[in-house]
Amino acid sequence: MKKTLLIMLMTSFAFTACKKEQKSDNPFFNKYETPFEVPPFELIKAAHIIPAYLKGFEEQREEIKAIINNPQEPTFENTIKALEYSGQLLDKVSSVFSPLNSANTNDTLQKINRELSPLESKHRDDISLNDSLFQRVKSVFDNRGKFTLTDEEKKVLDDTYKGFVRSGAALSPEGKEKLRKINEELSMLSVKFGENLLAETNGYKLIIDKTEDLSGLPDGVIAQAATMAKNLNMDGKWVFTLQVPSMTPFLQYSDRRDLREKLFTGYFMKGDNDNEHDNKAIIANIAKLRVERSHLLGYKSYADFVLERNMAKTPEKVTEFLGKVWAAATPVAKAEAAAQQDMIKREGGKFKLEPWDWWYYTEKIKKEKYNLSDEITRPYFKIDNVMEGMFYVANRLYGLEFTKRNDIPKYQADVQTFEVTRNNKHVGILMIDNYPRPSKRGGAWCGAFRGQNRDINGKMITPIVTMVTNSTPPTADKPALLTSDEASTVFHEFGHALHQLLSNSTYPSVSGTSVARDFVELPSQIMEHWVLEPEVLKVYAKHYLTGEIIPAEIVEKLDKAGKFNTGFATVEYLAAALLDMEFHSFTEPVDLNIREFEKKTMDKYGLIPEIKPRYRSTYFNHIWTSGYASGYYSYIWCEILDADAFQAFKETGDIFNKEVAAKFEKEILSKGGTRDPLDMYIAFRGKEPGIDALLINRGLK
């Protein structure tokens, strides 16, 4: 009997081993047999995604069950660390699906996203609202003094415990059930908002079929519009879209005021056209549900809930800070508007300056004042050269090398892939995706198909980072030529990429850009300071035809014009940041009329009618789908930090000072979220920053 049982067990083991070795048709279930285990995009099909998610959910449920049923006393090792490394298959599939759905989506992926959204919400809640699991986490937290933990482990423990509490683990059964329903509804509303926004952006086109309607537009802008028309099977016409690289040049140069108004209105009314893609009811419901959720969790408002874990800590501190900058910027913006109105009068115009006129007259004044325009500088900002410039800066600062690789899978033909090394040692992979397309959402962002961390045995896992922009694309006869603002955006996203590439954390939850929302923009925004430094321009700003380095007189004009139009840039941004704070400062659920609410908010702060918020509510992707709710202020908050941090380099007389760079990497870039952000900044700079550096940097003081 025993011998028969042994044979049966051995046979079973052999069969199981064969099954393990046998490859699945689903790539997510196999080890990626690609260079650096980059996802094999050519093998991944839409049909693979939901089965991989379902298996990922199942595996993590079993892992959570094992943690809960562990008979040993809860410790960091058997509870917090085990939880940290649970759900690896789920991470594997979601870290591919989510970036693809943002950068290269289609109807099928969007349908999958709708199906998965409530399942993901339920799965997250099943973990965070599991009382048995929470009691083990609480036990480790309450007895933390008994354990010998590294500083990073202390931070992971603190984040984990507080994360459970903030996710409702301490609620009553009735409260947990209510929270589940709110979370599920919020997840679905967020998905629908994003789908509507993409449809609205892709659905609008300004089609021009008469050459006289192109008056004022530079040849390059006309060529870009012709290429767009050709791509849409409209040969012989010119098409302008709501994508910024298409829309902004039209607003800057078109002499046709009526067409400028038409295009601007198309942009400004995205998601607010009372059609099937209208977002007003969606965001009113999101705002209302966020108040209810905050109350359930014991907070006055959603802003109070969010900011507790940010550097700012309270809505009052954010509003006070934004108010100070608003007070400094508004008089400057009014003076800029007056100068434009004066130019209209000088030209014989009989109309009042409107928002769709701002770019046009700003460009004229800039040309008149500095003899400078984007079309003068574009030839020197070929996108390939701009990338060489950012690689040069990273090499000088951190010793990184970037080697283009054509043997690594990529998710879209336009993507460029680089292996990143230092001292001949592999650091990570960087994928750069530069151009707009209907399958890509607007804006610019940085993500990862795999984040840096160490596996459960301590082995380094190197990152696979994605850097996505919507930069001016090439035309039939010209390469992609950027504005200086677009070049700054490329450097900005590269700063986020460096934050991930140079991360040196152990635990996934605190690696790379997993930091407080109002700290995450420091590594990105400091990179922008190098864009127009003469020493850097000499390296990359070369004429795309002649190879001539950008002339010194143009560099001087760029420097002088650097603070031009900053009143507008600051006020339109602040208007959006204040709108965000107002939406999330309600202490009771309110049935909002979105248009009335926006007007009331802008009137409250005194926004001048010639300027509109950078983002209206109905297309404010940052705060409804991208995690910046009560956090859009972060960009200008971090400008306090980045302006002061760059001074650390300038004070040495060397913008590539190795010691300062090494300290910035050691105390900021490599640390991820392993320490309190203010402590990290003080460790780097030796002091807290003040608002003066920000105001001086923007020319507001």
Is residue 308, in this structure, part of any structural domain at all?
A: yes
Mean pLDDT of the chain: 95
Residues 37 and 144 in one domain: yes
State in Å, rounded, how far the first CA of the chain is from the last one: 90
Residues 144 and 258 in one domain: no
Residues 98 and 220 in one domain: no
What is the per-residue pLDDT across 475-513, written as a single tens digit (0 to 9) for each? 989 999 999 999 999 999 999 999 999 999 999 999 999
Residues 163 and 244 in one domain: no
Domain boundary among 116, 145, 170: 170
Q: Within 10 A of 150 (CB to CB), how many other CB atoms are there?
A: 12
CA 92 vs CA 305, 455, 465, 611, 668: distances in Å:
30, 13, 14, 44, 27
Rounded distance between C-alpha atoms, residue 628 and residue 190, angstroms: 13
What is the per-residue pLDDT across 185-219, written as a single tens digit (0 to 9) for each? 999 999 999 999 999 999 999 999 999 999 999 99
Rounded distance between C-alpha atoms, residue 432 and residue 419, angstroms: 11
Residues 166 and 74 in one domain: yes
What is the per-residue pLDDT across 312-357, written as a single tens digit (0 to 9) for each? 999 999 999 999 999 999 999 999 999 999 999 999 999 999 999 9
What is the per-residue pLDDT across 633-656, written as a single tens digit (0 to 9) for each? 999 999 999 999 999 999 999 999
Q: What is the DSSP string of 160-198?
A: HHHHHHHTTTTS-HHHHHHHHHHHHHHHHHHHHHHHHHH
Task: Look at residue 527 in the predicted model and tell me its pLDDT.
Answer: 98
Task: Look at residue 9 in the predicted model and tell me its pLDDT.
Answer: 33
Residue 104 above 50 pLDDT?
yes
Residues 343 and 215 in one domain: no
Residue 64 above 60 pLDDT?
yes
Beta bridge partners of 429: 419, 464
pTM (whole model) above 0.85: yes
Backbone phi and psi for residue 57, each to the nearest 5 degrees, phi listed first: -60, -45
CATH number for 157: 1.20.1050.40
Residue 614 above 50 pLDDT?
yes
Domain extent at residue 258: 204-268
Residue 409 · residue 41 · CB < 8 Å: yes
Rounded distance between C-alpha atoms, residue 331 and residue 354, angstroms: 18
Residues 221 and 149 in one domain: no
Range 534-541 average pLDDT? 96
Is residue 683, in this structure, part of any structural domain at all?
A: no
Is residue 664, in this structure, part of any structural domain at all?
A: no
Rounded distance between C-alpha atoms, residue 526 and residue 398, angstroms: 14
Task: Look at residue 697 in the predicted model and tell me its pLDDT.
Answer: 83
Domain boundary among 244, 268, 292: 268
DSSP summary character for residue 71: -
Residues 121 and 37 in one domain: yes
CA 481 vs CA 261, 339, 377, 468, 558: distances in Å:
26, 30, 9, 17, 17
> Residue 332: CA atoms inside 13 Å, Cβ hemisphere, count?
20
Residues 50 and 106 in one domain: yes
Residues 160 and 110 in one domain: yes
* Burial of 8: CB neighbours in 10 Å, binned 0-12, 13-18, 19+: exposed
Task: Look at residue 21 in the predicted model and tell me its pLDDT.
Answer: 55
Is residue 509, in this structure, part of any structural domain at all?
A: no
- Per mean pLDDT, which range of 284-288, 558-562, 588-592 is the poorest? 558-562
Residue 299 corresponds to which tokens in the numbers above? 């907070």
Residue 137 above 70 pLDDT?
yes
Residue 10 above 50 pLDDT?
no
Residue 126 above 70 pLDDT?
yes
Residue 685 corresponds to which tokens in the numbers above? 């700079």
Task: Look at residue 700 in the predicted model and tell me its pLDDT.
Answer: 87
Is residue 459, in this structure, part of any structural domain at all?
A: no
Range 41-47 average pLDDT? 97
Is residue 574, in this structure, part of any structural domain at all?
A: yes
Q: What is the DSSP string of 539-570?
A: HH-B-TTT-PBPPHHHHHHHHHGGGTTHHHHH
Range 248-274 average pLDDT? 98
Task: Look at residue 22 in the predicted model and tell me its pLDDT.
Answer: 75
Handedness of CA 362, 365, 370, 372 (dihedral sign): positive
* Burial of 666: CB neighbours in 10 Å, binned 0-12, 13-18, 19+: middle
The two most distant CA atoms of the chain are separated, in Å, by 106
Task: Look at residue 16 in the predicted model and tell me its pLDDT.
Answer: 41
Is residue 252, in this structure, part of any structural domain at all?
A: yes
Sequence-ordered strand ranges (E) for 325-437: 400-404, 416-422, 425-433
Question: What DSSP element (H or E) covers 219?
Answer: helix 219-231
Task: Look at residue 693 in the predicted model and tell me its pLDDT.
Answer: 81
Give residue 430's pLDDT band: very low, low, confident or very high (50, 70, 90).
very high
Which distant-in-sequence residues (6+ apart) come within 8 Å of 78 by Cβ?
67, 70, 72
DSSP summary character for residue 655: T
Rounded distance between C-alpha atoms, residue 231 and residue 228, angstroms: 5
Pick the closest to residue 427 from 455, 447, 400 (CA basis): 400
- Indicate which residue of 84, 195, 419, 493 is catalytic: 493
Which distant-in-sequence residues (6+ apart) come within 8 Å of 441 by Cβ?
102, 103, 105, 194, 197, 198, 201, 621
The reply to whether 59 belongs to the active site is: no
Residues 134 and 262 in one domain: no
Q: What percentage of the chain carries pLDDT values higher than 70?
A: 97
Rounded distance between C-alpha atoms, residue 291 and residue 51, angstroms: 35
Residue 294 corresponds to which tokens in the numbers above? 């905050």
Residues 67 and 142 in one domain: yes
Rounded distance between C-alpha atoms, residue 250 and residue 230, angstroms: 18
What is the per-residue pLDDT across 513-530, written as a single tens digit (0 to 9) for each? 999 999 999 999 999 999
Question: What DSSP element (H or E) covers 281?
Answer: helix 280-296
Domain boundary among 586, 607, 624: 624
Angle (CA) 372-377-381 rounded to 5° is 160
Range 156-184 average pLDDT? 97
Task: Look at residue 6 in the predicted model and tell me its pLDDT.
Answer: 34
Task: Look at residue 574 in the predicted model and tell me its pLDDT.
Answer: 98
Residue 357 · residue 611 · CB < 8 Å: no
Backbone phi and psi for residue 486, each to the nearest 5 degrees, phi listed first: -65, -40
Residue 8 above 70 pLDDT?
no
SS3 296: helix
Q: What is the DSSP string of 4-25?
A: HHHHHHHHHHHHHHHHHHSPPS
Residue 616 · residue 268 · CB < 8 Å: yes
Residue with tokens 């309270």: 314
Residue 586 · residue 287 · CB < 8 Å: yes
Rounded distance between C-alpha atoms, residue 122 and residue 248, angstroms: 42
Is residue 533, in this structure, part of any structural domain at all?
A: no
Task: Look at residue 386 in the predicted model and tell me its pLDDT.
Answer: 98
Backbone phi and psi for residue 464, each to the nearest 5 degrees, phi listed first: -120, 105
Give residue 267's pLDDT band: very low, low, confident or very high (50, 70, 90).
very high
Pick the closest to residue 123 from 170, 54, 190 (CA basis): 54
SS3 469: coil
Range 365-381 average pLDDT? 95
Q: How many domains does the chain have?
A: 3
Pick the closest to residue 271 from 578, 621, 694 (CA basis): 621
Question: What DSSP element (H or E) covers 693?
Answer: helix 692-697
